[in-house]
Amino acid sequence: MLHLFNLLPAHFHLPSETKAALESSFEPRSAAKNDLLIEEGHVCRHLYFLERGCIRGFANIDGKEVTQWFGFEHDFVTSFRSFISRSASREYIQVVEDADLWCISKDQLEILLEKFPELEKLVRLIYEQYYIRLEDRYSNAHFKSAGERYEDLLKFSPHILERMPLGYIASYLGISAETLSRIRGKQV
């Protein structure tokens, strides 16, 4: 949990009482490779802080897994639509590498926000990060070629290429594994 507090911007100060309440509200959770944190059709009731490992969010579209996002150390992850609206998830969240996480329930988070209004800013920052990633993903999918999307991964997110299976990466880029192999071949 210490990682979470170390990641807060220097100008973002939490009173010690708030920090203690936040820390005691998150519960540790370990998950093994291939575990599912949430399945499509279930309500996602937890927000996770990923301390170690990596995960992916994917949807099952016409029997095919389509990777929508990746999460790595120090990311907050959840099925945001499901978590916020308390509705059935449209996605799965799968552990790709053994993971250590901290989780907080939606109910517990709301209690904390009621008692400690200064946490609203922290939650807003988490949601803003998610929105920025979502908008980047949308823009890349609609306005860049497959080669340009791969180039962006190489430039801005090489850790994805190092840690994720190529099939997940191809799906994330919206291309077949064969097309990804051709693009990678041109890079050499």
Give the integer Cα–Cα distance in Å for 177 and 168.
9
Give the integer Cα–Cα distance in Å for 74 and 3.
7
Ranges of the chain with pLDDT below 70:
1-12, 188
CATH architecture of the domain with residue range 2-118 = Sandwich (2.60)
pLDDT of residue 95: 98
- Whole-model pTM: value is 0.88
pLDDT of residue 4: 67
Phi and psi at residue 38, in whole multiples of 5°?
A: -150, 150
Other CB atoms within 10 A of residue 171 CB = 22
Q: What is the pLDDT of residues 139-188, one digit of tens each?
A: 888 899 989 999 999 999 999 999 999 999 999 999 999 999 999 888 75
Give the integer Cα–Cα distance in Å for 88 and 59.
13
pLDDT of residue 55: 98
Q: How many residues does the chain have?
A: 188
Where do we find the tokens 């939606």? 106
Q: DSSP letters of the chain?
A: -HHHHHHS-TT----HHHHHHHHHH-EEEEE-TT-EEE-TTSB--EEEEEEEEEEEEEEEETTEEEEEEEE-TT-EES-HHHHHHT-B-SSEEEEEEEEEEEEEEHHHHHHHHHH-TTHHHHHHHHHHHHHHHHHHHHHHHHHS-HHHHHHHHHHH-HHHHHHS-HHHHHHHHTS-HHHHHHHHHHH-
